[in-house]
Amino acid sequence: MKIAVAGTGYVGLVAGVCFAERGHNVVCVDIDGNKVNVMKSGKSPIYEEGLEELMVKNYNAGRLDYTTDYKSAYRDADAIFIGVGTPEQEDGSANLSYVATVSRQIAENVEKDCLVVVKSTVPVGTNDKVEQFIKDSLTHNVKIEVASNPEFLSQGYAVRDTLNAKRIVIGTESSKAESILKEIYKPFNLPIVSVSRRSAEMIKYASNNFLALKISYMNDIANLCELVGADIEDTAEGMSYDPRIGSSFLHAGIGYGGSCFPKDTKALKYIAKQHGYTLKTIEAAVDVNENQKLKLYQKASNRLITFNGLKIAVLGITFKPGTDDLREAPAIKNIELLLKNGADIYLYDPVGMNNAKRMFKNQIHYTENPKDALDKANACFIFTEWDEIKDISPRTYKNIMKTPLVYDGRNIYDKDIMNSNGVEYYSIGR
C-alpha cells in the first residue's frame, strides 16, 4: 500500500520506517530540507536503537523515501498518517496547530479517495474535527475519512515497540476505514483492538496517565519509606509478585520526563476540567512528579553549606536511557538550580551531550567519560541509569572524587556496598 507519513519525529519517522519494513511503499514528509537530506543519507535525526539500520535497508530497497514536497506525497497516497507534534501549551492543553496545518495541506492536495490516520496524541474528539476540517477545505472531488491510530512506543525501544507491539489500537467510524487499517497492519501479525475514534483517543491518554500515576505512586511511597525506615526496593519486590499489580513501573526515582507523560497528564487534566470534571488522581500524579524532581537537590542542600565554587559531577542528563531526549528530564531543573547557586558543573552522558550543549552552551563543562566528570569533584548527581554509569565501581568514586559524596536518583547501587567502600551515598526511598 502507498503510505505518506507527515512528520519525522519519534512518532512519524518510526512509524514510516516500520511500515516500509513490513512491505509498504512509504514517503516521510518534513518541512526541513536539511533534515530530509540527513535522512536520505541514512542518518537518523533522533537517537533510537535499530532505527538507522532499518532506514538504510528500506531506503536502498526503494520502499522508503523522504521529501519536503508534501503536494506530491499526499496527491495519490492510499493512506496518510499524521505523526506531527502536539506540544503542551501554557494552560496544559495540546497545541493542535501542526495537526491543523497538515490537515489543510492534505485537503488541498489529495486527488484520490484516501484514509487519513491521526497517529499523534490528540484530545478526545480531535479526529472528528480533523475530518470535518479536511472535508470543509477539499479542493478536489474525493472522499476522505479520518481514523485514529495512537502509538504506544517507549523512547529507546520505539522500533521494537512498533514491530512487536502488544496491541494495535484503531479507531474508526466505518467498516471501510477499519478494513483499510487492518490491511495496513496485516503484515505486522499483531493483535488489533478496533474501537470508535473517541475510544481510541481515550485509550492513549488513559494508558499513559495510568503509567505516570503508577510512577508517582511509587515515588510517593518511596518518600514515606525514608521517613518510617522502610526500603522502597524491598517494598516494590514484595508488591511485584501480585499479578494484579505486576512488576513494571515500580522503580522509584526522581520522577518521569520525556515527551509523553508530562504532556499527556496535563492534557488529560485539562480535558477533564473543560468538561467540568476533576481528575484528582492525575492532579496528584503531576504534583508528586514535580516535587520529586528536586529530591536529590534538597538532600544535597541539607548536607552542604553551599554549592558556590564546588565541582559537581552530573552523570546522565537524558530523561531515561536509550534516548537523547532532554524534554522534561529531571536533570534539567537540578542543573539550573546548581548553576544558579554557583556550582561548577561537569557533565557526562553517552548520547545526550549534543542536546545538552544546545541547551546550556558554555555554562557547564562537557566530558568524554565519567571519570573526567568525577575527577576531584565535591559531589556527584546521578540522573540517568545508563550502563556506562552503572559500570562505575564504588571504589572509583572513593578514589578519584575530592569528596566521595554521591546523590543517586535512580538507585543504581547497593547502599551498603557504597558505604562500605567509603562513599557517602544518598538514594531514593532507602
Domain ranges of the chain: 2-195, 203-292, 295-426
- Describe the chain by its helix, strand, coil percentages, rounded to 5: 45, 15, 40
Cell numbers 499526499 correspond to 74
Q: Is 284 exposed, middle or buried (0-12, 13-18, 19+ CB in 10 A)?
A: middle
Q: Is the pLDDT of residue 217 over 90?
A: yes
Q: Which helix (H) or strand (E) holds 303?
A: helix 295-303
Is there a common fold for 2-195 and 203-292? no
Place 314 in a pLDDT band, splitting at 50, 70 and 90. very high
201 within 8 A of 126, measured Cβ to Cβ: yes
| Rounded CA separation 50/53 (Å) | 6
pLDDT per position as a tens digit, 39-71: 999 999 999 999 999 999 999 999 999 999 999
How close are the terminal C-alpha atoms of the chain, in Å? Answer: 54
pTM greater than 0.95 (yes/no): no
Catalytic residue among 18, 114, 260, 380: 260
Place 259 in a pLDDT band, splitting at 50, 70 and 90. confident
The alpha helices in 33-69, defined as continuous H runs, are 33-40, 51-60
pLDDT per position as a tens digit, 323-357: 999 999 999 999 999 999 999 999 999 999 999 99
Q: Using DSSP, state whether 31 is helix, strand or coil.
A: coil
Fold of 203-292: N-(1-d-carboxylethyl)-l-norvaline Dehydrogenase; domain 2 (1.10.1040)
How confident is the prediction for the chain on average, in pLDDT? 96
- In DSSP terms, 380 is beta-bridged to 313, 406
- The stretch 297-326 carries a mean pLDDT of 97
Considering the domain 295-426, what is its CATH architecture? 3-Layer(aba) Sandwich (3.40)
The alpha helices in 229-279, defined as continuous H runs, are 232-240, 261-274
Place 204 in a pLDDT band, splitting at 50, 70 and 90. very high
pLDDT per position as a tens digit, 90-127: 898 999 999 999 999 999 999 999 999 999 999 999 99
pLDDT per position as a tens digit, 25-37: 999 999 999 999 9
* DSSP symbol at 78: S
The candidate with the shortest Cα–Cα distance to 366, out of 336, 344, 397, is 344
pLDDT per position as a tens digit, 358-398: 999 999 999 999 999 999 999 999 999 999 999 999 999 99
Q: What is the pLDDT of residue 156?
A: 87
Q: What is the pLDDT of residue 103?
A: 97
Place 408 in a pLDDT band, splitting at 50, 70 and 90. very high
29 within 8 A of 73, measured Cβ to Cβ: yes
Q: What is the pLDDT of residue 78?
A: 97
* Active-site residue, 380 included: no
pLDDT per position as a tens digit, 148-201: 999 998 888 999 999 999 999 999 999 999 999 999 999 999 999 999 999 999
- Name which CATH class applies to 2-195: alpha beta
